[in-house]
Structure 1
């Protein structure tokens, strides 16, 4: 079965920041679709147990006070999110779909470790984790797209929605359910282009240089996953070379879809 015809579990987190090693989950969504099974959805609001910084509030509009009043305990949310994702993978055979989803999967892994819970990998009982990352796919397919503006980058979720001609709601964006489902719709559009004749592609797509949608054609989800491991590493290496033009010591982690866990030393202590 080709990768776009199976079950998908669209996954997204909104968090207290962008540091996967130390930041916390505020909201989470898992929306399962396709594969001949009825749609399923889960959404969670957590009290992360720490202050939600202004920078994070400005993105997802959830304040510390709101999370404390309405959110479930963080440990409970982490347990339930990991269990739901695992159930979709093990019982439904779902691939996890998201935008820059290595961030979400790594942060979930660290949250599980913080509360001494089984990680997602622990829960899979040998079943493979297959991931579809719209950021990795889009960058491979359209490698030379330029920034839209000074404020909007080439690989942001909104940019992909616009490029693949999907509706976008600024008010709903950065809600975890909205972003998870937007990523799934983008992944489906990428798959559609991969399995179309090139001459049938929209003009604005054909206007881009060195398109590589054919790299995704007729792959199984396992084959696509394996290819993304290589593409993500190549993309990170390219970004690292770019950063090193101004900072010779810059390092970009190319691990995908999960950044390896490094056991902290006694001096470093456990996760905060």
Structure 2
């Protein structure tokens, strides 16, 4: 079978109201679809009125204030349903969806879907440059943010922290990583399954490290979506 990087693929990114993926609300969402050669063939963008105040620390990052979201944004329930529908159609077609630190974006979407009665996704296959980079370049020094990896791989990132720019940059970074680390070139379904294990292992290692000074530290390793807070924690 052909590797994912030679086939149509998509990238997904959200900008939200906060850092907690279970409570954050969607502000903007973008899904960019490319063909097997990496040419953009479709772009989806949404601006939502999250129904809550957008904290200044969030609007300072992505540029969307509460006033702008209320004036120009669409109801959050409609946006959530449309985002989920586009993603599900991609998954149903076997198109991998690339997301940087995917467990954040997909957990936000899962929480929003539960909030508004939108059917949950069957999340497969997802590709996450953040998880992969920690696996194939373990001894790399410095930050592993999207901005840092864009600089490392020579990927342009104009308008950072807008969902459209971040989505396309995420896709380009992963393409570049596949070139540098050919072991990432495989069917997307196989790579998805590997990432489930990698995420669990990486979380366990980080938790062990933190517990040297903070014995109660807990790092969740479920990927690509964290379970609801009141659910029993377990594998995806």
Q: TM-score, normalised by structure 1?
A: 0.80
What is the CA-CA distance between 1:261 and the residue it aligns to?
3.2
Where 1:168 maps in the other structure, the secondary structure is coil
Task: Give the equivalent residue in structure 1 for 2:197.
Answer: 230
Task: Give the equivalent residue in structure 2 for 1:96.
Answer: 97
In the alignment, the residues of structure 2 paired with residue 7 and residue 24 of structure 1 have an alpha-carbon distance, to the nearest angstrom, of 29
Q: TM-score, normalised by structure 2?
A: 0.92
- Residues 1:49 and 2:51 are matched in the alignment: yes
Which deviations, in whole Å up to 9, do the C-alpha atoms of 1:64-118 show, x marking residues without a partner? 0000000000101001100111112223x21010110111011101100001111
What is the CA-CA distance between 1:139 and the residue it aligns to?
0.9
What is the CA-CA distance between 1:3 and the residue it aligns to?
2.1
- Residues 1:167 and 2:162 are matched in the alignment: no
Which deviations, in whole Å up to 9, do the C-alpha atoms of 1:24-82 show, x marking residues without a partner? 00000011112489711100000000000111112111100000000000101001100
User: Radius of gyration: which is bigger?
Assistant: 1
Q: Report if the CA contact (8 A) 2:32-2:40 is conserved.
A: no
2:164 to 162, 174, 177: 177
In the alignment, the residues of structure 1 paired with residue 197 and residue 82 of structure 2 have an alpha-carbon distance, to the nearest angstrom, of 31
- Residues 1:132 and 2:119 are matched in the alignment: no
In the alignment, the residues of structure 1 paired with residue 16 and residue 157 of structure 2 have an alpha-carbon distance, to the nearest angstrom, of 21
Aligned length: 229
CA RMSD of aligned residues (A): 1.7
Q: Report if the CA contact (8 A) 2:157-2:165 is conserved.
A: no
In the alignment, the residues of structure 1 paired with residue 162 and residue 209 of structure 2 have an alpha-carbon distance, to the nearest angstrom, of 31
In the alignment, the residues of structure 2 paired with residue 226 and residue 120 of structure 1 have an alpha-carbon distance, to the nearest angstrom, of 17
Where 2:28 maps in the other structure, the secondary structure is strand
Where 1:4 maps in the other structure, the secondary structure is helix
Task: Give the equivalent residue in structure 1 for 2:65.
Answer: 63
Structure 1, unaligned runs of 5 or more: 122-127, 148-153, 196-213, 265-272
- Residues 172-251 of structure 1 aligned to structure 2 (within 5 Å): 172-195=159-182, 214=183, 216-217=184-185, 219-251=186-218
